[in-house]
Amino acid sequence: MLPLVKPYNVRKLTNINGYIMGEFLLQVGLITIRIDEIKLIIEHKNQFKVCTYGT
């Protein structure tokens, strides 16, 4: 995986952090996949759940 951009619009709740990240490149073998935006990453007790859409 290529280096990630710094998240923006961080939302802090009691014990959950939510993030929005911009454009993101994922390299799988010789193929590079571009994801337009990761809409939400929920972090809870060092576990992450990702809701995303991309092209």
pLDDT tens column, 19-47: 666 777 778 888 888 877 666 666 667 66
CB-count exposure of residue 42 (10 Å: 0-12, 13-18, 19+):
middle
What is d(CA 44, CA 14) in angstroms, rounded to the nearest whole number?
Answer: 10
Return the pLDDT at 24. Answer: 74
Query: What is the pTM for the complete model shown?
Result: 0.35
DSSP state of 23: -
Residue 13 is which amino acid?
A: L
- Over 60: is that where the pLDDT of 55 sits? no
Return the pLDDT at 23. Answer: 74
- Over 60: is that where the pLDDT of 52 sits? no
Question: 3 versus 55: which is more confidently predicted?
Answer: 3
